[in-house]
Chain A
Amino acid sequence: MSDTLVDAFAEALRLHSPAPLDLTERAALVRAAMQTAEDEALVDGFADALRAEPPAAIDASSLVQRILSAPSDEEEPSASPAVATSSSATSAPATSAPATLSPDSLASLRARYRFWVAAAVAAIVLLCVGVGLQVQVLLGGSPRQAAVAPVVHQLAGGHRITASHDARLEIAQSDARVSVSLVSGEALFDVAPGSQFQVVAGEERVLVTGTVFTVARADAQVHVRVYEGSVRVESHAGAEVLVAGDLYGDAPRNTQLHALALEAARVRSARARVSEGTREGSAGGVASARDPERDPAPALDPSPGPVSDPVPDRGPQERSAPDLDSEPRPARRTENSAASDRLAVTAARRALAARQYEEAYALLGPVVRRRPTAERRMLQGDALRGLGRVTEAMATYRLAMRGASPNQRAVAGLAAARLLAGPLARAADAHDVLVESGALQEGSPVVSAARRLDASLQTR
């Protein structure tokens, strides 16, 4: 009886399947997957190169001297240091240390054993140092960088600045405001959240509120590399928002600072995850609940559309649509990139909710380039529409329709159709988009709004 019931249960599960995708949707899905795979392969190659970082510099000669001098008061080893000899010498105590050996013989064997172990350790250390230096040269660093340790400045407020040995910094701090002037060299900044922190390097000013990044200055050239969070770089040419993985300028990196920055970003991501988990736990432990602080609603449309239901009010289905960026990413994707993308999308949502469309658009640009999901494109469309760039917004919504789930496609279609029907005055195209997106179909999350819009199009 129980077995039959369980079999019936399995059969019932088999009967349900997801709605099929048409060929275009499948192709879009596959293209997006292949693009992401290529990007990740590139990042993985980068990470592999980083893993070949050299070991910390040591005084190899004194270490070798110390090791070699250790058995000097013992019996001298055999004069022929051939591998076969060393092998037999090391194996002798283990395999044939008979009870009949005299104490002198045992001492002699132990001395030989210690000598050859020490020699092997010295050889390995020398080899590691040599390979490490070689790898560092290949990676673009200089052996001198490895030999000279960076200087660490621990500031009040939890900020940490790690400067290259040749960097010149001027630090001014008052209350929660920190201003660092980078005269020359390169420095890594691990900035605690919730403070006002800026780095001035020549004409460039880097504004930050909690992130990990490096700034390098060589003559008139300034380079910024962001490892976690986002920063805003201001110069006479304008302002630019950089998120993790972005590079301003094109400087050869200092391998030591680079490794430290990666570690700092990793630690910060882990802390963020822990605090996020704590917040969710204290909020009742329901993982699917949306935290309005962390995940505010999509942007509001400043201008009323042709129908009473504004685009961002996307109906119950869409309001409960997933925050794609809160889901786990492929395991091989770098933690930094995934975490910073989530931060950037969350920040963009906040900016949209605050009607700071330019900020939202700047934040979303790199994120969409890295992984153009339907949700991100729709946010980008919201930002463009807020900026009054309706043609681009419409095109972005239409891009969002590709590879989106049916719900998202319908919502993006309605958003595009509203722009076509309103500011762009292309009623026929608006109708086509509504049909194409499935927004008019029964079961669509925006079916009533879409039908109202379509009806208004018929009367024109």
Chain B
Amino acid sequence: MSSPDGVVIAFPRAARVPVDVEETLTALVPTVRKWMWRLLGPRDAFDDAVQDALVELAKALPRFEGRSSVTTFAHPIVVRTAYRYMRARPEQTGVPETLERAASGDDPERRAAGREQLERLHRVLQQLPLKARVAFVLCAVQRVPHAEAAAIEGVSLETLRARLKRARSELARRLRADPELSARLDGRER
């Protein structure tokens, strides 16, 4: 089975036997970090948020009954933890230089540019209302199916779609107001 990001987690879907928590957590760490990264963006408290999510998972995994995939089970827990951090400290505190794996390789100039762009992207993202932001990250960035995203958020499909619609229109408005970022995104598209 695979997570929305294509990360393969080798656990039987219908396993009724208790999972090995340590093994499961170890396999989940990259996925949890990726989810948290997309939800919170690069921030100083990123590692803390990941650790808190892992603690919550360690407590929850013994209750896992194999009725869904482990990633489906873990996703709402990570989102709830991320919510706590987003509410507690919404401001972006800058991109820690070594925390990010730059898509542009080892070239320092391109890495710096990538970091700057990441900051801009997250600045725009963080201007969205909290719930709309999470809906957008889940559906548009992580490509979670709408029904699953609604389940993660604990809302109806209609509510999720409304949030997503709001996020998209708000984002479009903000991106139009930032010609430089829009141009870069257009360039990427071409």
Residues of A within 8 A of B (CB): 2-21, 26-27, 29-34, 36-37, 40-41, 286-288, 317, 320-322, 324, 327-332, 373, 404-407, 410, 438, 441-445
Contacts and interface: CB of A to CB of B under 8 A. Distances in A.
Given A30-B29, A317-B96, A16 B114 contact: yes
A9 B55 contact: no
A29 to B, nearest CB: 6
Given A16-B118, A41-B59, A4 B99 contact: no
B100 interface: yes
B141 to A, nearest CB: 5
B162 interface: no
Interface string B78-117: 0001001100111101101111111100101001001001
B84 A328 contact: yes
Nearest to A21: B29
A37 B58 contact: yes
Contacts of A327: 45, 48-49, 85, 88-89
A30 B26 contact: yes
Given A30-B25, A322-B44, A13 B125 contact: yes
Contacts of A33: 25, 51, 54-55, 57-58
B175 A5 contact: yes
Nearest to A19: B101
Nearest to A325: B48
Contacts of A404: 47
B136 A18 contact: no
B151 interface: no
Given A30-B54, A37-B55, 15 more contacts: A5-B185, A8-B188, A9-B171, A10-B141, A16-B102, A18-B37, A19-B101, A33-B51, A287-B91, A322-B44, A322-B48, A330-B52, A330-B55, A405-B98, A444-B98
Contacts of A18: 33-34, 37, 42, 46, 99-101
Nearest to A33: B54
What is the predominant secondary structure among interface residues of chain B facing chain A? helix
Nearest to A27: B26
Task: Count chain A CB atoms within 10 A of each CB in B50, B98, B100 and give the residue with the most.
Answer: B98
A8 B189 CA distance: 6
B51 A19 contact: no
Interface of B: 21-22, 25-26, 29-30, 33-34, 37-38, 42, 44-52, 54-59, 81, 84-85, 88-91, 93-94, 96-103, 106, 108, 111, 114, 117-118, 121-122, 124-125, 136-137, 140-142, 168-169, 171-172, 175-176, 182, 185-186, 188-189
5 contacts: A14-B38, A34-B21, A40-B55, A405-B46, A441-B98
B34 A17 contact: yes
Contact of A406 (B93, B98, B185): B98
B121 A29 contact: no
A13 to B, nearest CB: 5
B106 to A, nearest CB: 8
A405 B56 CA distance: 20
Contacts of A7: 140
Contacts of A40: 55, 59
Contacts of A443: 97-98, 108, 111
B100 A19 contact: yes
Nearest to A409: B98
Given A13-B121, A17-B34, A406 B175 contact: no
A35 to B, nearest CB: 9
A277 to B, nearest CB: 11
A1 to B, nearest CB: 9
Contacts of A332: 59
Given A19-B99, A33-B54, A41-B59, A286 B91 contact: yes
A6 B168 contact: yes
A2 B168 CA distance: 9
